[in-house]
Structure 1
Amino acid sequence: MNTTSYISIGGRQEVKPEEVLMLQAEINYTLVYFVNGRKTIVATPLKKLEERFTPFEFYRTHKSYLVNLKCVKCFIEPTNTLQMADNHNVIVSRRKRTGLKEYLKDR
């Protein structure tokens, strides 16, 4: 029995959650960044994808970003940004900062 779960990201595309680094909102589209360096754009809003990815340790850091918490390198305090595994810097909003710090502290 195959226990690998796939998430539909739209356009008949399915991905494994562990292959996704982060998602970035672009109006009604979403840029999906993969761990292997590839990226794609889908016509599915980030809000809808957030519902699908949240059970797999993804966190909405800002209105424009949803990140895979397993791919976070570090939290940069003075600039309130996360450095991801591929060296992207992702903004963390003031309202989301406390919850994110609590999670990262427990890791």
Structure 2
Amino acid sequence: PHPSFIPYAASKAGLNAMTEALALAYGPTVRVNTLMPGPFLTDISDAWDFTDGETNPFRHSALQRAGQPAEIVGAALFLMSDASSFTSGSILRADGGIP
């Protein structure tokens, strides 16, 4: 990450490690997972510059766009459902393919 993102990146790494540790501590009766969203369109994103070219903040992501709020719902429903019954200590990225 960019040097100015070091505190942010460190806090995210800490949350990821905590997810794995809590899964070990509370399993097998509790599943612990993290949903890691990328950029989603919200009131905050109104200030983002979505023009093409060098100013597009999504030009390096696989989907090259921000997510719609409804798109995070499927990931959350998966983690809350029996479909994820063998999932614990996992970090599920819903970020449009940010490298």
Normalising to structure 1: TM-score of the pair? 0.22
Higher strand share: 1
Higher helix share: 2
Normalising to structure 2: TM-score of the pair? 0.23
- Kindly name which structure, 1 or 2, has the bigger radius of gyration based on alpha carbons: 2
